Structure 1
Amino acid sequence: MDESGGRTGGVLGPLRGLGGLSLPGAFRGGQKGAGGRVARSSVAERARLAGIVAGAWVRALIARAGGGDVALSYVPVPVPERLLIAPQDLRTGDATLASEFYAGRFAFAGKVVSLDGRTPFELVPPSIEWAETLHGFGWLRHLRAAGTTIARANARALVGDWMRDPGAARAVAARSDVTARRVISWLTQATFLLQDADHDFYRRFMRSLARQVRQLRRAAGEAPDGYPRLLALLALTFAGLCMSDQGRLMKAAERRLAEELERQILPDGGPLSRNPGMLIDLLLDLLPLRQAFAARNLPAPPEMMNAVDRMMPMLRFFRHGDGAFAHFNGMGHTAADQLATILAFDDARGAPVANAPYSGYQRLEGKGCVLIADTGPPPPVPASWEAHASCLSFEFSSGRCRMVVNCGVPATGRDTWRQVARATAAHSTAVIADTSSCRFLQSAHASRIMGVPIVAGPRHVDVQRGARAGAVVMRASHDGYLAGFGIVHQRSFRLAVDGGRLDGEDVFRAGTEGAAVPDAPFAVRFHLHPTVRVERLDDPHTALLSLPNGEAWAFAAPHVTLAVEESVYLAAPGGPRRTAQLVLAGTTQRTPRLIWTFVRTREATPAPGAPQRPAR
């Protein structure tokens, strides 16, 4: 078992793939001295990690044996005589893609494949993500959007090809998350698929659905924690509602879904995994499920209704002025159409909450300026397989322009970037000795069961917030560097009410009261959005930032030399993009306290025809 302390040496290979981009210092390991202590685990910690892995194996074996949930694992799933309802698909379709499919071109996850007379399932997939999308059948919505007889016949032919033989990516197609997405896709598109279908296709379709639901029923207990497990239970609940003769399945799946929602959706509406993107994915399925209960004249589980009510306000919590979500713990590009669809169901439409203590996030606002900060420990080990070492990182935006960001994750090719994206250096916060504040378990055996979870990191994150002298003030600290370096990182923010000034402070203090601060190198990083232009000034402590809306901001850090280095913005819609980062470097003994400031020096340029502000 290899315990990774989050060191980032050796990961520049994928970064150089972006047109030769390298990130000096940002994702480079190799620091000596105190950082080496992180890699040396105590006997007690090794025993604890071994217990985590052993526990995961035991849970998986119990689930395989059917002991995880006997009622769900063994409930009968007869072949339905008919479908009672077809749920609504809230994800939008693109009719132009239907002609591409008909021509034999399948473009998924950044890869384009030409069939050349074969079925897409015969081909060796160009990537795992491409295979996941293909076998999930979410692309049926594009054929439905075309609404033509040819599109319907093509959809039926492709579904028929899959029912005959899932093909080369059979293992991917059998995964619980892919099976669940396929079951939901077939049910939501059933009206389109079955219209004018012959009796033979109809019966094969029903038998295949029942077979997949039986498979999913057995696999749901061992699905990875977080969204994949919820997705499996959502698919089973949809199947129970939509397929005839499934009364026992509906009751068992509804009960398990209610339990899992109570566990995974925290009291403030955030997800247990701490990934904001899970809110969008989950609501896109929960809202149609709520409508499906109404269509069957059945009461939806109160736990589901309460979860939806809690999640809706959190959608607004994570949004910047441009509508995009902040990039924390696996969140990448925000699909604007999907978010807008969900928000149309929000009856409250109120202002977002400022404090999400259960989820571990804080939001500060001042007249169009928004700061969102990660102030929570990592999620529980089983739910942390995509969580990031991002404690005390933040994002800052002015109006519709994002200024300070985290690197985020790309929409495709996540495996290539995962190690980089999860490191503390990929976030706008302090990094000590080029070492992440969390440790990731790297084990070939364990990863098959639980992915690459976080096994150590901040355990105590203290947060205080209030108002002072016409500004919103927040202070937080975490002990993620205490075990390896004996250092506690404390960060404070002060945002002016008019949004024109953000003051920050980073403090490195000893974990033992009264002790001297241990000496270690640090770097405080501020990753900038690619649309921000940086200009160095004669003052070595200051830089000027220009935003697309015409605003100008000065960044200043007295007594610390400011460096501007290359960075990469992974969450861009078209793939990773070059950008810049501001870096303040030093040692914790020589500079135990840093202060830094963002100040607006020029207002936004008014759009043509917009009303002008009166002169003061």
Structure 2
Amino acid sequence: MPIQGMDGLSRRLRLVVGEVARRATAPLRRFARGLRASFEPSADRLAIAPQDLRTADPTVAGDIYAGSFVFSGQVVECRGRSPFDMPPPSDEWARVLHGFGWLRHLRAADTPIARSNARALVDDWLGLDTHPPVAWEPDVASRRLMSWLAQSPMVLEDSDAAFYQRFLVGITRHVKRLRIRYGEEPDGLPRLKTAIALLAAAVAVEGFRRQVKTAMRRLDDELKRQILPDGGHISRNPAAALDILIDLLPLRQALSARGIPASAALMNAVDRMMPWLRFVRHGDGAIALFNGVGPTPTDLVATVLVYDDARGATHGNASHSGFQRLEAGRTVVIVDTGPPPPIPVAQAAHAGTLSFEFSSGTTRYITNCGTPFRPLPQWRRMARTTAAHSTVVVGDRSSATVRDKGLVARLFGPVLVGGPESVPVERQEADGTVAVVASHDGYAKAFGVLHERTLRLSAEGDRIDGRDRVVPLEGGNRPPFVIRFHIHPQVKASALGGGGVVLLGPDGEAWEFRCADLPAHLEESVYLADLHGVRHAEQIVVAADAGGLGEVRWSFHRTAEPRALRRRVSL
């Protein structure tokens, strides 16, 4: 076995041994923390309610009052029963229900009926004898605690003393449980969200104020570990920063309102994630579809970016997170130039190394398939394959593997394993032209080849030149490979003579694809990152036979400007 393979195996073994040891000692830690928690004070008075920045829709309040709960694209009609008594159609639906994020819609309605309904639903939950396991998953419990704190002015308005006391008992129960079990949640976002929720509770509840220092230190540790120097997250999910900032920004405001200085780690993390969010955003405001990103709440992105005080120019090189951004004129190209993330945070990672997306203005032309919004396990698994990305697929296999069985999967979930270990990247900028040359060894063990990709964006932003090379190692044979370019469903694709393809955007802008070495043809594809479900799409496919051509050159060239721009020019 190659030394590189042995290194990968030893790292995986250390992770497994470490996780087994952590779980084996969890009961002892839980006992010790529970003993300490029994001597700590309970929630006595809410001093502040952190703001909820998420978009609210008051019309949803009417649906909830009517007993219609629409979560994750699924509907449950309660018909007079409590939603907590209804069988959930999926775990995803149940997680949203028990997370209580939907309380913001009732607050937006700002009516006595909505406030009364919110209070009754919270009281229903507090009165349950038992809760389903998903209700106490760390990220669900953290979301519920944050939602209760943020919406407490609405929930507690016009309430009696008995309900107020039950509500405080519920807050205490959440804080103690999350503190006792801290560190047992999955690594990555769930652990970071728990740390944010615990600090928010310490700031918001007067009786928990002496826990602020400990909670701040816990959050600092996670921010330093999980937020990379360029602002990306260790999971390599571009949208993770949005998920974090939407809770971190109100927490920063609450700290200021209570006269508690925010830590340097918290401030630095916010300052790094703001430009990162602009880095991974296309012209239409959507986040690039890499490593688990689904539909983008563009209004939420805009809300978060309002808090960006620096508003500096977007950088092009995010080497720590493993992404490159090429931008000129109205054109944006975003490239995945990193290996899969560490196994403990690879539950949603995709095998998309060296895939890219490009947009012009507010139109996305070439994308990856993305992750479905609705709970569709079969599509989610497909979305993680290399074939679901705009890159090269060698031998009809993915460059990394989803492991959903065996010991590693039982310990960490359906993680991405194997894949590229070395992804060297070179960025070149001259006279306004930007180029990225990168390669990866994800196919070295299976086929003995490297994939090298070059992308070059012209200074005017009207041309993208690409070159894909499949290079055999040590004189080996070259297997067959396919280059895929997934087309966004809002773009109309038509075949041209000579093997070309024209892409027509909804605003009349057109781009022509040409491959200098092999014919291109259109095939069916799917677009998964849509709130309304799976959408039909198309893809450009260029196929190379085994032992044949090892270098393929291709290009996208703008052939027509948007109609609005053409009208301005004619005037």
Please classify the TM superposition score into its range, dividing by the shorter chain length: over 0.9
The question of 1:613 aligning with 2:540 is answered no
Question: How many angstroms apart in 2 are the aligned matches of 1:289 and 1:588?
Answer: 56
Question: How many angstroms apart in 1 are the aligned matches of 2:320 and 2:376?
Answer: 28
Q: Deviations over 1:7-47 (max 9, x none)?
A: xxxxxxxxxxxxxxxxxxxxxxxxxxxxxx99xx9899767
**Aligned twin of 1:274:** 236
CA shift for structure 1 position 446: 3.8
- Residue 507 and residue 73 in structure 1: after superposition, are their counterparts in 2 closer, same or farther (change >3 A)? farther
- Residue 414 and residue 317 in structure 1: after superposition, are their counterparts in 2 closer, same or farther (change >3 A)? farther
The question of 1:386 aligning with 2:348 is answered yes
In the TM superposition, what are the counterparts of 1:383-422 in structure 2 within 5 Å? 383-422=345-384
**Aligned twin of 1:20:** none
The question of 1:111 aligning with 2:74 is answered yes
Q: Aligned match of 1:88 in 41, 51, 56?
A: 51
The amino acid of 2:341's aligned partner reads P
Q: Aligned match of 1:253 in 212, 215, 226?
A: 215
Question: How many angstroms apart in 1 are the aligned matches of 2:527 and 2:40?
Answer: 47
Contact kept in structure 1, 2:42 and 2:208, CA below 8 Å = no
The amino acid of 2:494's aligned partner reads E
Question: How many angstroms apart in 1 are the aligned matches of 2:314 and 2:26?
Answer: 39
CA shift for structure 1 position 250: 2.0
The amino acid of 1:174's aligned partner reads W
Question: How many angstroms apart in 1 are the aligned matches of 2:40 and 2:379?
Answer: 41
The question of 1:429 aligning with 2:415 is answered no
Q: Does 1 or 2 have the higher relative contact order (CA < 8 Å, sep 6+)?
A: 1
**Aligned twin of 1:14:** none
Q: Percent identity?
A: 48
Question: How many angstroms apart in 1 are the aligned matches of 2:12 and 2:243?
Answer: 31
Contact kept in structure 1, 2:431 and 2:459, CA below 8 Å = no
Q: SS of the counterpart of 1:246?
A: helix
**Aligned twin of 2:502:** 544
The question of 1:591 aligning with 2:554 is answered no
Contact kept in structure 2, 1:73 and 1:218, CA below 8 Å = no
Contact kept in structure 2, 1:508 and 1:588, CA below 8 Å = no
Q: Deviations over 1:193-233 (max 9, x none)?
A: 11111011011111111011111112221111111111111
Q: Deviations over 1:522-570 (max 9, x none)?
A: 111000000111111221x211111111112111112312121110000
Contact kept in structure 2, 1:105 and 1:115, CA below 8 Å = yes
- Residue 414 and residue 295 in structure 1: after superposition, are their counterparts in 2 closer, same or farther (change >3 A)? farther
**Aligned twin of 1:66:** 29
**Aligned twin of 1:565:** 523
CA shift for structure 1 position 468: 4.4
- Count the aligned residue pairs: 570
In the TM superposition, what are the counterparts of 1:220-239 in structure 2 within 5 Å? 220-239=182-201
**Aligned twin of 1:365:** 327
Q: Which moved more, 1:445-454 or 1:490-499?
A: 445-454
In the TM superposition, what are the counterparts of 1:434-449 in structure 2 within 5 Å? 434-443=396-405, 445-449=407-411
The alignment's C-alpha RMSD in Å is 2.3
The amino acid of 1:475's aligned partner reads V
Q: SS of the counterpart of 1:212?
A: helix
Q: Aligned match of 1:100 in 59, 63, 83?
A: 63
Contact kept in structure 2, 1:140 and 1:185, CA below 8 Å = yes
**Aligned twin of 1:52:** 15
Q: Aligned match of 1:186 in 148, 158, 163?
A: 148
Contact kept in structure 2, 1:362 and 1:375, CA below 8 Å = yes
Question: How many angstroms apart in 2 are the aligned matches of 1:52 and 1:439?
Answer: 17
Question: How many angstroms apart in 2 are the aligned matches of 1:418 and 1:486?
Answer: 29
CA shift for structure 1 position 177: 0.7
Question: How many angstroms apart in 1 are the aligned matches of 2:38 and 2:312?
Answer: 43
**Aligned twin of 1:328:** 290
Contact kept in structure 2, 1:63 and 1:69, CA below 8 Å = no
Q: Deviations over 1:360-384 (max 9, x none)?
A: 0000011110000000111111111
CA shift for structure 1 position 184: 0.3
CA shift for structure 1 position 248: 4.0
- Residue 77 and residue 566 in structure 1: after superposition, are their counterparts in 2 closer, same or farther (change >3 A)? farther
The question of 1:477 aligning with 2:439 is answered yes
Question: How many angstroms apart in 2 are the aligned matches of 1:405 and 1:72?
Answer: 52
Q: Which moved more, 1:256-265 or 1:443-452?
A: 443-452
The amino acid of 1:613's aligned partner reads V
CA shift for structure 1 position 441: 2.2
The amino acid of 1:530's aligned partner reads P
Q: Aligned match of 1:531 in 490, 494, 509?
A: 490
Q: Which moved more, 1:114-123 or 1:467-476?
A: 467-476
- Residue 500 and residue 92 in structure 1: after superposition, are their counterparts in 2 closer, same or farther (change >3 A)? same
Contact kept in structure 2, 1:389 and 1:437, CA below 8 Å = yes
The amino acid of 1:554's aligned partner reads E
Question: How many angstroms apart in 1 are the aligned matches of 2:317 and 2:504?
Answer: 30
CA shift for structure 1 position 510: 2.2
Q: Can you give the 5+ residue segments of structure 1 that lack an aligned partner in the other structure?
A: 1-36
Question: How many angstroms apart in 1 are the aligned matches of 2:367 and 2:237?
Answer: 16
Q: SS of the counterpart of 1:221?
A: coil
Question: How many angstroms apart in 2 are the aligned matches of 1:493 and 1:75?
Answer: 60
Q: Aligned match of 2:157 in 195, 202, 205?
A: 195
Q: Aligned match of 2:479 in 514, 520, 542?
A: 520
- Residue 469 and residue 99 in structure 1: after superposition, are their counterparts in 2 closer, same or farther (change >3 A)? closer
Question: How many angstroms apart in 2 are the aligned matches of 1:69 and 1:538?
Answer: 73
**Aligned twin of 2:115:** 152
CA shift for structure 1 position 54: 3.3
Question: How many angstroms apart in 2 are the aligned matches of 1:542 and 1:75?
Answer: 71
CA shift for structure 1 position 467: 2.5
Question: How many angstroms apart in 2 are the aligned matches of 1:418 and 1:89?
Answer: 29
The amino acid of 2:492's aligned partner reads R
Question: How many angstroms apart in 1 are the aligned matches of 2:432 and 2:167?
Answer: 64
CA shift for structure 1 position 93: 1.4
CA shift for structure 1 position 422: 0.7
Question: How many angstroms apart in 1 are the aligned matches of 2:350 and 2:65?
Answer: 41
In the TM superposition, what are the counterparts of 1:273-292 in structure 2 within 5 Å? 273-292=235-254
Question: How many angstroms apart in 2 are the aligned matches of 1:576 and 1:590?
Answer: 36
**Aligned twin of 1:450:** 412
The question of 1:553 aligning with 2:511 is answered yes
CA shift for structure 1 position 585: 0.8
Contact kept in structure 1, 2:33 and 2:180, CA below 8 Å = no
**Aligned twin of 1:342:** 304
Contact kept in structure 1, 2:34 and 2:180, CA below 8 Å = no
**Aligned twin of 1:496:** 458
**Aligned twin of 1:216:** 178
